[in-house]
C-alpha cells in the first residue's frame, strides 16, 4: 500500500500578496484587474466569504464585495515561492510531481526521514511552509493520487484530511461526482443528464456503459469510484504543454459562434497558463468536426506568449486559416507548447483600467 500526499496552497497568489504587503492581511483581496474585461485569478478567503472566487469577472466580484481590493499579479514572485515550497518537499522525498505552481503529489511510502506515518509528514511539511515561508498549505493523505487530491480539498483552508484505505469506499459513495478529479464542465453536465450525482450512482454503472458514454475516461471513472488508481507519482514528468478545449452541445457552423468559442477557449487557456509558471512559444488551434476528423494550425513566436491579448490576437489569426469551414464543428481547442528553457519573462495580465 502506497502513501501519497497532495499539497495545495491556500489562496496561493492572494496569500503571497498578503505576505509581501502586510496592509492587505485580513482584507478581502482579489488578483486581477478591476476593468470591465477583467477576470480574477483568485481571491483571499476573506473575499470568498462574499462569494468571490477564481475565474469570476471583476465586475461581478466588485458587486458581491464592494470593499474588494484588486491587486495585480507578480508571477515571478509566485514562481520563486513555488521553488521554495518544492525545496521543502525534497527534504522528505524525491518523488515529487508538481501539478502547477501551488500543488504537487508526493510519494512518501519510502521517505528520507524514515517516518512511517504519512500524516505526520504532511503535518511537518505544513509546519515548515508556515514557519519558513509564512504561508498556509492544505494537505490530503491517502493511498493513491486520486484520493489524496480529493482529500486536500476537503478541509480547506489550513486542512489536513486523511482518507485511510478502509474508509475510502464509504467516502467515495457519498462524494458528489462533480468533486471527482478529472470531471470537467462538459463531463459534469453529461453525468447530470444521465442522473449520476454521487459516487454511489457511478458505482452502479457497468464498465461497458461508462466506456460507451465517456470513451477512454470510462475506465478511469469505473476504477476511481472503487478507490482504485494505480498511477505513479511521476517526478520526472515535465509539463510539455497546456491546453483548453471547448466541446459544444450543438455543432456550430457560423462565424459568430465560432468566434465566441475561440474567445472562451482563450479565456480558459489563459487561466490555466497562468498557473504553469512557464513561457510558451507556440500556440496551436485545433478544430474537430462532426465526423471527428480534426485539423490544426499553429504559430510560433520566439519571444513567447506573455499576455492574454497576444494569445487572443494569434488565435484569431489562426482562426482565419480554418475558414471557410468544410463542415460543422464540435470542438475548438487551443494549446500552448514549446516552453522556453530560460527563466520565464514576467507574464503580465493586461491591465484594463
What is the set of active-site residues?
A: 103
Residue 13 interacts, among Mg ion, ligand TTP, none and using kind-specific CB cut-offs from 5 to 8 Å, with ligand TTP
Residue 8 lies near ligand TTP (rule: CB under 6 A): yes
Q: Taking the complex as a whole, how short is the minimal distance between the CB of residue 30 and ligand TTP, in angstroms?
A: 10
What is the distance in angstroms between the CA of the first residue and the CA of the last residue of the chain?
A: 53
Residues 275, 152: Cα–Cα separation, whole Å: 18
Torsion sign across C-alpha atoms 15, 16, 19, 20: negative
Residue 10 lies near ligand TTP (rule: CB under 6 A): yes
Range 158-197, binding ligand TTP (CB under 6 A): none
Residue 157 interacts, among ligand TTP, Mg ion, none and using kind-specific CB cut-offs from 5 to 8 Å, with ligand TTP
Closest CA to 4 of 235, 276, 238: 235
Residue 276 lies near ligand TTP (rule: CB under 6 A): no
Residue 273 lies near ligand TTP (rule: CB under 6 A): no
Residue 102 lies near ligand TTP (rule: CB under 6 A): yes
Tell me, what DSSP letter sits at residue 35? S
* CB 180 within 8 Å of CB 227: no
Residue 229 interacts, among ligand TTP, Mg ion, none and using kind-specific CB cut-offs from 5 to 8 Å, with none
Nearer to ligand TTP, 157 or 184 (CB): 157
Residues 343, 48: Cα–Cα separation, whole Å: 32
Residue 156 lies near ligand TTP (rule: CB under 6 A): yes
Torsion of the alpha carbons at 14, 20, 21 and 24, rounded to the nearest 10: 30
Residues 276, 289: Cα–Cα separation, whole Å: 29
Q: Taking the complex as a whole, how short is the minimal distance between the CB of residue 150 and Mg ion, in angstroms?
A: 14
Prior bond of 25 cis (ω within 30°): no
**Cell matching residue 60:** 461581478
Nearer to ligand TTP, 111 or 138 (CB): 138
User: Given candidates 7, 11, 163, 225, which one binds ligand TTP under the rule CB under 6 A?
Assistant: 11
User: Given candidates 33, 82, 274, 279, which one binds ligand TTP under the rule CB under 6 A?
Assistant: 274
As a residue count, the chain comes to 353
Tell me, what DSSP letter sits at residue 131? I
**How many residues in the shown chain lie near ligand TTP by CB under 6 A?**
17
Helical segments of 96-251, H only: 118-128, 145-154, 165-174, 185-193, 199-203, 207-214, 216-224
Residue 271 lies near ligand TTP (rule: CB under 6 A): yes
Range 197-256, binding ligand TTP (CB under 6 A): none
Half-sphere exposure of 205 (CA within 13 A, CB side): 27
Residue 232 interacts, among ligand TTP, Mg ion, none and using kind-specific CB cut-offs from 5 to 8 Å, with none
Residue 274 interacts, among Mg ion, ligand TTP, none and using kind-specific CB cut-offs from 5 to 8 Å, with ligand TTP
Residues that bind Mg ion (CB under 5 A): 8-9, 12, 102
* CB 42 within 8 Å of CB 30: yes
Q: Taking the complex as a whole, how short is the minimal distance between the CB of residue 102 and Mg ion, in angstroms?
A: 5
Residue with cell 504519512: 118
Residue 275 lies near ligand TTP (rule: CB under 6 A): yes
Q: What angle do CA 303, 308, 314 make, to 5 degrees?
A: 65
Nearer to ligand TTP, 196 or 265 (CB): 265
User: Given candidates 41, 142, 306, 335, which one binds ligand TTP under the rule CB under 6 A?
Assistant: 41
Q: Taking the complex as a whole, how short is the minimal distance between the CB of residue 210 and ligand TTP, in angstroms?
A: 27
* CB 296 within 8 Å of CB 220: no
Residue 246 interacts, among Mg ion, ligand TTP, none and using kind-specific CB cut-offs from 5 to 8 Å, with none
Nearer to ligand TTP, 157 or 328 (CB): 157
Residue 42 lies near ligand TTP (rule: CB under 6 A): yes
Q: Which neighbouring-strand residues pair with 296?
A: 286
Q: Which residues bind ligand TTP (CB under 6 A)?
A: 8-13, 41-42, 54-55, 102-103, 156-157, 271, 274-275
Amino acid at each position: 500500500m502506497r502513501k501519497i500526499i497532495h499539497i495545495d496552497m491556500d489562496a496561493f497568489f492572494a496569500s503571497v500578496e498578503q505576505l509581501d504587503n502586510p496592509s492587505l492581511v485580513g482584507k478581502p483581496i482579489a488578483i486581477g484587474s478591476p476593468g470591465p474585461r477583467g477576470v480574477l485569478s483568485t481571491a483571499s478567503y476573506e473575499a470568498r466569504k462574499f462569494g468571490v472566487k477564481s475565474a469570476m469577472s471583476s465586475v461581478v466580484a466588485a458587486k458581491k464585495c464592494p470593499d474588494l481590493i484588486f491587486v495585480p499579479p507578480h508571477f515571478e514572485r509566485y514562481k520563486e515561492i513555488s521553488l521554495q515550497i518544492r525545496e521543502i518537499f525534497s527534504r522528505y522525498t524525491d518523488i515529487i510531481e508538481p501539478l502547477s505552481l501551488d500543488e504537487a503529489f508526493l510519494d512518501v511510502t519510502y521517505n528520507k526521514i524514515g517516518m512511517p506515518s504519512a500524516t505526520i509528514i504532511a503535518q511537518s511539511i505544513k509546519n515548515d511552509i508556515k514557519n519558513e515561508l509564512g504561508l498556509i498549505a492544505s494537505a490530503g493523505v491517502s493511498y493513491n493520487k486520486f484520493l489524496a487530491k480529493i482529500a486536500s480539498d476537503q478541509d480547506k483552508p489550513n486542512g489536513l484530511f486523511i482518507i485511510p484505505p478502509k474508509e475510502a469506499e464509504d467516502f467515495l459513495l457519498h462524494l458528489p461526482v462533480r468533486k471527482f478529479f478529472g470531471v470537467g464542465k462538459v463531463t459534469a453536465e453529461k453525468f447530470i443528464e444521465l442522473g449520476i450525482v454521487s459516487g454511489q450512482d457511478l458505482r452502479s454503472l457497468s464498465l461497458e456503459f461508462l466506456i460507451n458514454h465517456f470513451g477512454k475516461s470510462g475506465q478511469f471513472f469505473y476504477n476511481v469510484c472503487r478507490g482504485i488508481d494505480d498511477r505513479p507519482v511521476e517526478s520526472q514528468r515535465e509539463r510539455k504543454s497546456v491546453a483548453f478545449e471547448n466541446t459544444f452541445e450543438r455543432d456550430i457552423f457560423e462565424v459568430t459562434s465560432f468566434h465566441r468559442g475561440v474567445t472562451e477557449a482563450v479565456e480558459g487557456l489563459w487561466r490555466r497558463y497562468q498557473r504553469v509558471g512557464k513561457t510558451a512559444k507556440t500556440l496551436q488551434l485545433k478544430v474537430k468536426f462532426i465526423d471527428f476528423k480534426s485539423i490544426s494550425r499553429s504559430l510560433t513566436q520566439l519571444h513567447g506568449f506573455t499576455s492574454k491579448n497576444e494569445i487572443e490576437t494569434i488565435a484569431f489569426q489562426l482562426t482565419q486559416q480554418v475558414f471557410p469551414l468544410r463542415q460543422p464543428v464540435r470542438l475548438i481547442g487551443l494549446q500552448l507548447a514549446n516552453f522556453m528553457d530560460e527563466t520565464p519573462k514576467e507574464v503580465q495580465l493586461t491591465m484594463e483600467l
